Amino acid sequence: SLPDDCPPDVEQLGRSTWTLLHSMTANYPERPSLTQQMETKQFISLFGKMYPCWVCADDFRSWMKDGNEPRVSNRDEFGKWMCEAHNAVNVKLGKKEFDCNKWEERWRTGWKDGRCG
C-alpha cells in the first residue's frame, strides 16, 4: 500500500470510512428521538451521494433502493444494518462475510476474550 502521506486509494478510503460508519452506529442511542432517526437517514442519504468513490456510491444507493432502506430505530438495528451494507460490498469484492451478531464486539465493546483492553 501507499505511504501514509499520499492521497488515499479506494481501499484506504474504504477502511477509514467503514471505521467512521461503524463507529457512528456504536455511538448511536439505544432510544433515539424521532429527530435523531430522521437526521441519521438524511446523513446516510447524503453520504450515498457524496462518497468520493462514485461506483461505490452508486452501488450503495442501488443496494439501499433494493429493499435495504436504513434501519435506524435503535443502536442494534442500525449496527446490524450497517454490517449488512458492508457485507454487500464484501460479497461484491469476493471477501468473506462478517457475522453480524458480532458487530458490537468488533466496533463497540471489544471482544469477549479481553484482547481489546
Residues that bind ligand FAD (CB under 6 A): 10-11, 14-15, 17-18, 22, 51, 55-56, 59-60, 83, 86-87, 89-90, 93, 95, 98, 103, 106
Locus of grid cell 429527530:
35
CA of 9: how far to CAs of 2, 14, 94, 106, in Å?
A: 8, 8, 19, 24
Least distance to ligand FAD from the beta carbon of 76, Å?
13
Which of residues 43 and 98 has its CB atom nearest to ligand FAD in the complex? 98
Alpha helices in the chain (DSSP H): 10-26, 34-50, 54-65, 75-92, 103-104
Least distance to ligand FAD from the beta carbon of 21, Å?
6
Q: 3-state DSSP call for residue 36?
A: helix
Which of residues 35 and 101 has its CB atom nearest to ligand FAD in the complex? 101
The closest of 80, 36, 81, 79 to 63, measured between CA atoms, is 81
Which of residues 34 and 58 has its CB atom nearest to ligand FAD in the complex? 58
Residue, CB closest to ligand FAD: 14
Which of residues 22 and 75 has its CB atom nearest to ligand FAD in the complex? 22
